[in-house]
Structure 1
Amino acid sequence: MAEITVRRYTAADAKKWNDFIAKKSRNGNFLFDRNYMDYHADRFPDCSFLFYKKNDICAVIPGTLDADGVFSSHAGLTFGGFVVGASVKTMDVKCLFDLLDAELQKLGAKKVIYKALPWIYAERPSQEDLYWLFRKNARIRARLISSTIEPKVTQPSSKKKYYLNKGNRLGLLFAESKDFSGFWDLLDSCLQEGHGAHPVHSKAELELLSSRFPKNIKLYTVTLNGELLSGSVVYISSQVAHAQYLASSAKGRSLNAMDFLMMNETNAFPEVRWLDWGTSNEEQGRVLNEGLVHQKEICAARGVAYDIYEYDL
């Protein structure tokens, strides 16, 4: 086994980091591109690391370290963990953890929060980290359930097909849109009404990220005579089209516009294997929104766990 070394990421490493994520990793994602990660670096100060075999990057881990000594991979992302290359094997991942822990102890860190990559996002099997988390006696901090469908082999229920036909009869139009500002206003009003909250991304941030990643971040809407009824911001990676945001107006709900949108989305991404409509949880998974998960499940979606682990240093 070739010796692995580690060093902390600096801004000068951005190009080689991005090249590794996009071209050389087996479980990379555009969320780990520095042009995505760094948009909120003012709120989540970076503490990422690069790992080398000889002179080549074999793995990276995106991370943040807060004032309380908690290292997260990554506090500003849905998931994180080790991003590894093809040469990395099971015992190598043990070495990655050992090196990471040693570096974090030098920085005064006391705890690690590890947001494991859900398996559907990896291009090749990449769950060696889960084995070593078990060996480290890591605790499950949160487990969310996301609703995922494999459109090429799974058929939605007859009820959902009814909503698709109904929407067509009513003249509903499903299409890609560039009006992120208009959708954000709808999303914000829905979150304010239902939860007294705002979207995780501000309007300016959503527009910025969609402009940086036009092939990966897309908006799909359902309209009637030009009126926005429902919409979905979709994050598209090599394996998964993930609905980052879903929202529907009161009129849209009365016309089943969200059902119409979800049914059309099942045919909108032929280039990926999985369509993931996101989690339906609150309180780190201890509360399930049964109505929301039911709406996804009658589209034939089934559960994928989004796990977050923690261990003490």
Structure 2
Amino acid sequence: MITKDLVEIVRYENRFKNDWDSFVDNAENGTFLFHRVFMEYHKDRFEDFSLMLFCKGSLKAILPANVLDKTIYSHQGLTFGGLLIAPHCTDETYAFFWQHIKDYLSVKGFTDLIFKEMPAPYQRQMWNDDLSLDRKLVQQTSNFQVNLNDFKISKSKLKHYHRAAKNNFLLVEDDAFEPFWKNILEPLLSEKYQTKPLHSLEEITSLKKKFNKNIIQCNLYYKDEIVAGITLFVHAGFIVKSQYGASSALGKKLRAMDFLFIELIHKFKKLNFAFFDMGTATDASFPEGVNPGLMNQKKELGCRAYPQNIYQIRL
């Protein structure tokens, strides 16, 4: 039985980088997003407060986190956070680690811990945590994913796909992000939302060099002109996420995005991936915070909604 006197909580430092990354690679719920290089590409925006839990000198759990005032977040710069666990962890140990973290942070003078759970498809093992930490659900969003072992694309999407296939598109897996970023993604986000991609062209290019197999750019060309693109994040060979997807005005007329998504869904199904993640339909400009048109498009492509919870724990 693991007890508090056997567990040491240590704040992450650069000297632990290799230990941290090795743990992520072998954790039950690890993904490349938790590698230190990925977490730190925007380290100027967040003050890191990641934690490592050792038991008799062996690393058993990590919490990717940042601090803002008296609140700990896991993690504001990542799609999701939470506790990463070593293989064969029991429900009791998982709950114990959370309680120990709560006590540690409370002693340090923090008032709240906020974490965004991984959607269920990312968790190869689910724990019955029953944290008993007075956690409060402060937000719930829907994460839309295609279960590649059981999905159905709508008849209308398939009709558009078959029509679009007659356009003789060229689908290219491209190491260069500039054609998509400069010609489609940045202009679209600027014009429609007055915003920019979360990753600059320089940042995504740098991350690609460090995570070559995990970050893939797929571009669609029509008569030598790029008309659509999707940036994919590939997680541990079992789930692929559409991080960015957009088309040009011509691409919209040609139904390029329908064609591109369906091509990629079938590609990763053949590669024995389990899920194709299309993200959320969150949009603050709509009354309920969800873009109904975008949500419907994702469902028509075969997506189901998986809850993604954000919890607050008073310390």
In structure 2, the residue corresponding to 1:28 is in which secondary structure? coil
Aligned residue type for 1:126: M
Aligned residue number for residue 193 of structure 1: 191
Deviations 1:135-181, CA, capped at 9 Å, x for gaps: 22222222111221122432312222222221221112223122312
By how many angstroms is 1:268 displaced?
2.2
TM-score (norm 2): 0.92
**Kept after mapping to 1: 8 A contact 2:233/2:240:** yes
**Kept after mapping to 2: 8 A contact 1:2/1:54:** no
Aligned residue number for residue 301 of structure 1: 303
Deviations 1:249-293, CA, capped at 9 Å, x for gaps: 111111111101111011222242000111001349941111111
Q: How far, CA to CA, are the matches of 2:157 and 2:165 in structure 1?
A: 13
Question: Residue 41 in 1 paired to residue 43 in 2?
Answer: yes
Moved more, 190-199 or 152-161: 152-161
**Kept after mapping to 2: 8 A contact 1:47/1:65:** yes
TM-score (norm 1): 0.93
Q: How far, CA to CA, are the matches of 1:206 and 1:127 in structure 2?
A: 33
Aligned residue type for 1:7: V
In structure 2, the residue corresponding to 1:94 is in which secondary structure? helix
Aligned residue type for 2:204: L
By how many angstroms is 1:229 displaced?
0.9
By how many angstroms is 1:94 displaced?
2.5
Aligned residue number for residue 19 of structure 1: 22
By how many angstroms is 1:115 displaced?
0.9
Identity of aligned residues (%): 28
**Kept after mapping to 2: 8 A contact 1:27/1:126:** no
Deviations 1:25-82, CA, capped at 9 Å, x for gaps: 111111001111111112112111111222211110100011x211000111010100
Aligned residue number for residue 216 of structure 2: 218
Aligned residue number for residue 122 of structure 1: 123
Deviations 1:64-116, CA, capped at 9 Å, x for gaps: 011x2110001110101000012322221222122212332343321111111
Aligned residue number for residue 267 of structure 2: 268
Q: How far, CA to CA, are the matches of 1:175 and 1:145 in structure 2?
A: 30
**Kept after mapping to 1: 8 A contact 2:148/2:273:** no
**Kept after mapping to 2: 8 A contact 1:143/1:284:** no
The 5 A counterparts of 1:45-64 are 45-64=47-66
Aligned residue number for residue 78 of structure 2: 77
After TM superposition, the runs of 4+ consecutive aligned structure 1 residues lying more than 6 A away are none
**Kept after mapping to 2: 8 A contact 1:280/1:288:** yes
Structure 1: gaps (5+ residues): none
> How big is the alpha-carbon RMSD for the aligned residues of Structure 1 and Structure 2?
1.7
Aligned residue type for 1:108: G
**Kept after mapping to 2: 8 A contact 1:21/1:28:** yes
**Kept after mapping to 1: 8 A contact 2:73/2:113:** yes
Q: Go from structure 1 to structure 2 and tell me whether the alpha carbon gap of 1:47 and 1:34 turns closer, same or farther (over 3 Å shift).
A: same
Aligned residue type for 1:229: V
Q: How far, CA to CA, are the matches of 2:308 and 2:257 in structure 1?
A: 24
